[in-house]
Structure 1
């Protein structure tokens, strides 16, 4: 329970401390001190406001560390803060501590930080992912990723990067990294249909932050598209589990259970994105294409069928922007719906990613549809990748359905 609380509140606490003390390392060290104190102080009961407790204790720890460095006065937060800007007012959330996540995301995505480290630093510092988890997300060795993070934090300190939301004129050079960070953070939560894992809070946080960012940047089509994608995905949340707690794949979900309010919000953001692209005479960007794919799946609410040809065409366009494993795997699944499982399997295996759960799950499904005996081994490979509880139940049920004579399943 303690670890869950630390992970749930860590990003906000570290973000608030970093904004106050202008020092990422100090913020992380102070939060670690607070967590150690909590292990004793919370032995009998968790405080009514865990986030507020952690922030208050961590703030005191930060000041203690600064005093020990004999530089407390120089690093102490300003006694009289400047008048808040409109962006500051939008950033103020109804939370027990200042919620500085979006502010710190912009800081971590500063041009002074190398492009390959911006999203990684944000995911580690703001979202609280472990270095190993961030390395996995980027398919990078953990030691390499750790070195990048150290260099990135040092660069922020040396460059004197201000811990504030930059003026809108400076947003374009940071926005892609900001959006990528939110995408990856949301993917961590969406991968767990039951929201039972340590990153469950990312779903709510990214829903909020993407909406906030859409209000801050109303004329950016990719910002609007990301807000649409997150809302399309979250709208399906009520239909993602069956009565046993197992994950329900998108194609098998009851569309009547999808959240109509979030669907309407998603469609409004997507229309806004498309209108902005038309006004600028530009083709849709990668996030707009992703949102359009979600919108195509949402058509099943009205027609009862998924327009797979349109989905496949959108994936082909998306590949021109992002030749990522996730795109190629999802395209193979769409291809299987049009040309059959053999064609889908061939495309899937060309995108080989044996250590990635969605790849193994998709491969097992297509092998099963073809009646191939290797399907059981593929399901076993997927189960060996430590899926979340709901996904494990789904995979076990699928594998169990393949049991033949003499096989206990």
Structure 2
């Protein structure tokens, strides 16, 4: 039973909280109601869980929230939405073939409201809508967990105090929220992409982000960054079939067999990338950071036709990207390209000023560069450091294999 509840919590928690928040206009109440429903599930499911666990959690949480709502002294001023017509809320909100229901999209835009501080918008969305833990969100933004927790509390308070409407704004108001919406989707997709085997707790985000970026591209076809993110997600998803070797170990992008990539998704990605570039030129603006990231993915995808990787071109794109968005993730990825162009020593030197000793991507990158330089003892130490940081099983197997292949 605990395994079923845990799976339902991961798969449907965001949907339930989103639907409750949309109905009651109160994020805290929505989260409390869902927690209460989970607690009751532990007590009542036993050996005979409900046929639709997600719908059960939604129904119990809604009843609890309604009861709590009615007890408030201000109930008359804050009446929840009327129950929707057929199909029932359970059928409509919990339909698993509907990856991101309207209620969830609505809450994404609510959490990204300009009233919320820029540094908290994506974090609040990831915590509330996507169901990431505070620790996971903090790790994604490379900030201490207590700092992130304080930001979340302030953000929810701001939404309540500002009376933010729980509705998707009209298209003319999208630009002020879209960057935060796209940042949320970037991090959510990174969580799905973290486990190359697709077995991580957030692996289902990949399909959801793929669908939502396509939806946003249809709703905002003239937004270059929207089209660029749609391209990036499709380029990355196209490589999914080539990410594991026969032993289940992760295969780095540069070692993947391009004949295993999904040509249909690559073609879709190229159309979005071309549209993004056309829009940037039409507006007379330089490519945005997401457009540059998409271009890097597109350059890697060209190996399927040319049989080679244009590392100097990719390095140039990373230099442009670093000027637009300087963060440790981009610096580590740029080091991979720099190693191919100028050698591992230059790449290792470029990572020297990143202060993140307990960050897995940095430890893994340093281990590879040190091994290529013949600094075996230091490389082994970095591989051990990387393995101590809880990598996903496929990545752990890859790192273990590389460490064990070092000369004695």
Cα gap change, 1:281 to 1:365, in 2 (>3 Å): same
Superposition pairs of residues 311-350 of structure 1, within 5 angstroms: 311-350=314-353
Cα gap change, 1:97 to 1:137, in 2 (>3 Å): closer
Superposition pairs of residues 226-237 of structure 1, within 5 angstroms: 226-237=229-240
Superposition pairs of residues 176-255 of structure 1, within 5 angstroms: 176-255=179-258
Corresponding residue to 1:396 among 374, 394, 400 = 400
Q: Is residue 13–residue 97 contact of structure 1 (8 Å, CA) maintained in 2?
A: no
State the match for 1:85 in structure 2: none
In the alignment, the residues of structure 1 paired with residue 40 and residue 385 of structure 2 have an alpha-carbon distance, to the nearest angstrom, of 41
In the alignment, the residues of structure 1 paired with residue 45 and residue 393 of structure 2 have an alpha-carbon distance, to the nearest angstrom, of 28
In the alignment, the residues of structure 2 paired with residue 59 and residue 203 of structure 1 have an alpha-carbon distance, to the nearest angstrom, of 28
Cα gap change, 1:265 to 1:49, in 2 (>3 Å): farther
Q: Is residue 247–residue 394 contact of structure 1 (8 Å, CA) maintained in 2?
A: yes
State whether structure 2 residue 71 is matched by structure 1 residue 65: no
1:403 Cα deviation after fit: 4.8
Cα gap change, 1:97 to 1:331, in 2 (>3 Å): closer
Q: Is residue 17–residue 27 contact of structure 1 (8 Å, CA) maintained in 2?
A: yes
State the match for 1:103 in structure 2: 106
- What SS does the aligned partner of 1:350 have? coil
Cα gap change, 1:348 to 1:104, in 2 (>3 Å): same
1:71 Cα deviation after fit: 4.9
- Cα deviation 1:294-344 (Å, max 9, x = unaligned): 000001100111110110000000011111001111111100001111111
State the match for 1:24 in structure 2: 27
State the match for 1:384 in structure 2: 388
1:393 Cα deviation after fit: 0.7
Note the residue ranges of structure 2 that are not aligned, 5 or more in a row: 86-91
Superposition pairs of residues 366-377 of structure 1, within 5 angstroms: 366-373=369-376, 374-377=378-381
1:67 Cα deviation after fit: 2.5
State whether structure 2 residue 55 is matched by structure 1 residue 37: no
Q: Is residue 55–residue 97 contact of structure 1 (8 Å, CA) maintained in 2?
A: no
In the alignment, the residues of structure 1 paired with residue 344 and residue 315 of structure 2 have an alpha-carbon distance, to the nearest angstrom, of 14
State the match for 1:77 in structure 2: 80
- Cα deviation 1:169-199 (Å, max 9, x = unaligned): 1111111111111111111111111122221
Q: Which deviates more, 247-256 or 3-12?
A: 3-12
Note the residue ranges of structure 1 that are not aligned, 5 or more in a row: 83-88, 405-409
Cα gap change, 1:183 to 1:263, in 2 (>3 Å): same
State the match for 2:290 in structure 1: 287
Corresponding residue to 2:161 among 158, 181, 191 = 158
CA RMSD of aligned residues (A): 2.0
State the match for 1:407 in structure 2: none
State the match for 1:3 in structure 2: 6
- Cα deviation 1:74-102 (Å, max 9, x = unaligned): 544333879xxxxxx9xx99439954222
State whether structure 2 residue 178 is matched by structure 1 residue 175: yes
Q: Is residue 119–residue 178 contact of structure 1 (8 Å, CA) maintained in 2?
A: yes
1:64 Cα deviation after fit: 1.9
State the match for 1:264 in structure 2: 267
Cα gap change, 1:57 to 1:360, in 2 (>3 Å): same
1:280 Cα deviation after fit: 0.8
Q: Is residue 367–residue 383 contact of structure 2 (8 Å, CA) maintained in 1?
A: yes
The count of corresponding residues between Structure 1 and Structure 2 is 396
- What SS does the aligned partner of 1:349 have? coil
In the alignment, the residues of structure 2 paired with residue 297 and residue 178 of structure 1 have an alpha-carbon distance, to the nearest angstrom, of 26
* TM-score, normalising length: structure 1: 0.92
